Chains A and B, each alone.
Chain A
Amino acid sequence: MTVALRCSDVFVRYGGIEVLHGVGLAVPFGAVTALVGPNGAGKSTLLSWCAGAPSTATGAGGRLELARDAGRERLADATSWSASRRAALGLRLVRSGVNVFQSLTVKENLLAAGDPGAVIGASDSRHSELGPGASERASGRSVFERGALELFPELEPLLSQRAATLSGGQRQLLAIGCALGSRWRVLLVDEPVQGLAPALADRVYAALAAAAARDRAVLIADPVTHRAAEAADFVWRLERGRVVFAGEAAELRS
Chain B
Amino acid sequence: MARNGEHRERRGGTARDRRAKEPTGKAAVPRANAVSAGAGQLGIAGLGIGAVAGLSGLGVIATYRVTGVLNVAFGAIGMTGAFLLRAAVREWGMPTALAVALILLVCAPLFGLLIDAAVFRPLQQRAAGVAAELTAGFGITVLLVGIATAVWGSGARTDAPSLLPAGSVQLGGLTVPLGVLVELGLLTAVAAALVLLARGRTFGVAIRAVVDDRGLAELSGLPARRLGRLGWAVGCALAAAAGMLLAPQLRLDPVTFTLVLFETLGVVVAARLVNPAVAIGVALATGIGQAELIGVQLGGRPGEVLAAVRSNLFVAVLLVAVWVAPAFQEARERVSILPRKGTLAEHIGGWWQVVALGVAAAWLRPQDIGTAQLIPPLAVVLLSFRALSAVGLISLGQTAFVGAGALVAAWTPRFGLIAAPAAGAVLGLLFALPVARKRPLHLALTTLALATAASRFMFEQPLFTLPLARRPGFLAGDRGFLLAEAVGLGVVVLALLPLDRGWVGRRLAAIRDSEPAARMLGGDVERVRVLVFAGGAAVAAFGGAWWVYATGAFDASAFDPLRGLIWLAAATAVGISSAPSLILAAAGMVAADAAIPGASAIIVGIAALTVPWLRGEPVLPRAAR
Q: Spot the interface stretch: B329-337, B525-533, B538-546.
A: B329-337
A111 to B205, CA, bound (A): 8
Which residues on B sit within 8 Å (CB–CB) of A111?
A: 201-202, 205
Known: A58-B616, A104-B208, A119-B222. A98 touches B623 (CB 8 A): no
Give the docked Cα–Cα distance between A62 and B127 (Å): 20
Task: State in angstroms the CA–CA spacing of A118 and B623 once bound together.
Answer: 27
In the complex, the answer to whether A92 meets B621 with C-beta atoms within 8 Å is no
B621 touches A61 (CB 8 A): yes
B125 at the interface (CB under 8 A from A): yes
B70 at the interface (CB under 8 A from A): no
A120-B333 Cα distance, complex, nearest whole Å: 24
| B206 A60 Cβ-Cβ under 8 A | no
In the assembled complex, the CB of B232 is this many whole angstroms from the nearest CB of chain A, namely 16
Residue of B nearest to A80 (CB): B623
A selection of 19 A-B contacts at a CB cut-off of 8 Å is: A53-B215, A54-B126, A58-B619, A59-B619, A60-B619, A81-B624, A82-B225, A83-B215, A84-B221, A92-B219, A93-B219, A98-B213, A100-B216, A101-B216, A104-B208, A112-B217, A112-B220, A119-B223, A124-B223
Interface positions of B from 598 to 625, Cβ below 8 Å from A: 616-625
Q: Which one of A58, A81, A84 contacts B623 once the chains associate, using CB atoms below 8 Å?
A: A81
Show the binding face of A for B, using Cβ within 8 Å: 12, 49, 51-64, 78-84, 87-88, 92-93, 95, 98-104, 108-109, 111-113, 116-120, 124, 126-127, 178, 182-183
Are B618's CB and A119's CB within 8 A?
no
Tell me, in angstroms, the Cα distance from A88 to B213 when the chains sit together: 18
**B623 near A60 (CB under 8 angstroms)?**
yes
Q: Any chain A CB within 8 A of the CB of B301?
A: no
**Secondary structure of the A contact surface, majority rule:** mixed
Instruction: Decide: A87 and B221 in contact? CB cutoff 8 A.
Output: yes
Across the interface, do B221 and A119 meet the contact criterion of CB distance under 8 Å?
A: no
CA of A182 to CA of B220, assembled, Å: 8
With contacts A61-B621, A101-B208 taken as known, whether A116 is within 8 angstroms of B219 at the C-beta atoms is no
Instruction: Give the interface centre of B124, B203, B208, B220 by most chain A CB atoms within 10 Å.
Output: B220
Contact B622 A54 (CB under 8 A): no
A23 CB to closest chain B CB (Å) equals 12
B-side contacts of A98, CB under 8 Å = 213, 216, 333
A-B interface contact total, Cβ < 8 Å: 139
A95 to B620: give the CA distance in the assembly, Å. 17
Measured in the bound complex, the distance between the Cα atoms of B396 and A28 in whole Å is 52
- Please, which residue of chain B has its CB at the minimum distance from the CB of A107? B205
Contact indicator B329/A92 (Cβ below 8 Å): no
Contact at A57–B209, with CB atoms within 8 Å? no
**Chain B residues with CB under 8 A of A183:** 221
Known pairs A12-B621, A55-B620; A92 contacts B220 (CB<8 A): yes
| Given known A56-B618, A102-B213, contact A84–B224 (CB-CB < 8 A) | yes
Q: Which listed residue (A54, A78, A92, A127) contacts B125, Cβ 8 A?
A: A54
Q: Which residues on A sit within 8 Å (CB–CB) of B209?
A: 101, 104, 108-109, 112
Q: By the criterion CB–CB under 8 Å, are A108 and B220 in contact?
A: no
For residue B478, CB closer than 8 A to chain A, the reply is no
- Contact among A78, A99, A112 for B206, CB-based, below 8 A: A112
Contact check, A112 vs B222: say whether CB atoms are below 8 A apart. Answer: yes
- For A56, give its contact among B127, B206, B219, B222 (CB under 8 Å): B127
- Determine whether the beta carbon of B202 is less than 8 Å from that of A118: yes
B275 to chain A, nearest CB (A): 14
Q: Known A81-B623, A113-B220, A120-B223; judge A54-B206 contact (CB<8 A).
A: no
B618 touches A83 (CB 8 A): no
Bound-state CA distance A82–B337 (Å) is: 22
Question: Which residues of B sit under 8 angstroms from A83, Cβ to Cβ?
Answer: 215, 218-219, 624
Cβ of A100: which chain B residues have Cβ within 8 Å of it?
Answer: 216
